Amino acid sequence: MVSLTEAREVPERQLWDEIGKIHAGMLGLQGEKMHFQPMAPNVDETSKTIWFFTKSDTDLVKAIGPGSRGHFCVVGKNHDYHACLAGKFEVGIDRAKMDEYWNAVIAAWYDHGKEDPLLTMVALRVDDAEIWASTDSTLKFGWEIAKANISEEKVPDVGIKQHLTFPQNS
C-alpha cells in the first residue's frame, strides 16, 4: 500500500523506493517510432540515474545517439503507484556499476557473463518525473465517486499527483 502522506511530503524518496521494489518497467526512446520495452531498473539514487543491462545489438541501443532522451514508466506492485521518468541516455559499460548490480538473473542473459561481447549498459540520467499515488481503499474510492456524482464541481479525491525535477547530472 502506497503512502499518500509520503507522496505529498517526500515524493522523491518515495519515487526511488517504489522503483526499487519493481522487477521491470517500460523503457523507451523519446521521439522515435519504436515501442517501449520491459527493462529491469537498477537505481543509483545519489546520481539520479537508472542503469539497465542490455545487449549492444538491440534496436534501442542502436537508436540511442548523442543527446537522446528517454522515458521509463513504472507501475507499483499494488497498482496504486505510477511514475514516468525522463532524462538523457548514455550507453556504455561502467565497471563499478556493473559489479554493484550484477546478479544471477542478469547473468542468465549473457553467455559469457560480464565479459560477454554484446553486454552493454544504458544509463537514464533522470531530470524530470511525474508520480501518481492513489488510495487502495475501496471505501474511500467509493465515497469519493459518490460525492463527485452528487456535486457538479467536485472531482474525486483519490490520490496525489506530483511533478519532480532534478538538477542536470554531469
Query: How far is it, in rounded angstroms, from Cα 109 to Cα 88?
Result: 25
Residue 157 in this model has a pLDDT that exceeds 90: no
The answer to whether residue 124 sits within a structural domain is: yes
Give yes or no for a contact between 56 and 118, defined as CB atoms under 8 angstroms apart: yes
The answer to whether residue 56 sits within a structural domain is: yes
Which residue bears the cell 464541481? Answer: 153
Judged by average pLDDT, the poorest of 45-49, 111-115, 142-146 is 142-146
The answer to whether residue 170 sits within a structural domain is: no
Q: 158: number of CA atoms within 13 Å, CB side?
A: 19
Query: How far is it, in rounded angstroms, from Cα 125 to Cα 130?
Result: 15
3-state secondary structure 69-112: EEEEEEECCCCCEEEEEEEEEEECCCHHHHHHHCCHHHHCCCCC
- At 103, phi and psi to the nearest 5? -155, 180
Which candidate, 4, 84, 7, 90, places its Cα nearest to that of 47? 90
Which candidate, 116, 68, 117, places its Cα nearest to that of 91? 68
What nine digits make up the cell of 28? 523507451
**pLDDT for residue 147:** 63
> Residue 63: which domain range?
4-165
Residue 169 in this model has a pLDDT that exceeds 90: no
Tell me the helices (H) and strands (E) count for the chain, helix number first: 6, 8
Share of the chain above pLDDT 90, in %: 74
Q: Which residues make Cβ contacts (< 8 Å) with residue 128, sequence separation at least 6? A: 85, 86, 87, 163, 164, 165, 166
Could you read off the pLDDT of 58-108 as tens digits, one per residue? 999 999 999 999 999 999 988 889 999 999 999 999 999 999 999 999 999
What nine digits make up the cell of 34? 519504436
Residue 137 in this model has a pLDDT that exceeds 70: no
**pLDDT for residue 143:** 58
Interval 138-143 mean pLDDT: 58
**pLDDT for residue 153:** 64
pTM: 0.87
Judged by average pLDDT, the poorest of 34-38, 61-65, 116-120, 156-160 is 156-160
Domain of residue 99, CATH code: 2.30.110.10
What is the domain count for the chain? 1
Could you read off the pLDDT of 19-44 as tens digits, one per residue? 999 999 999 999 888 999 999 999 99
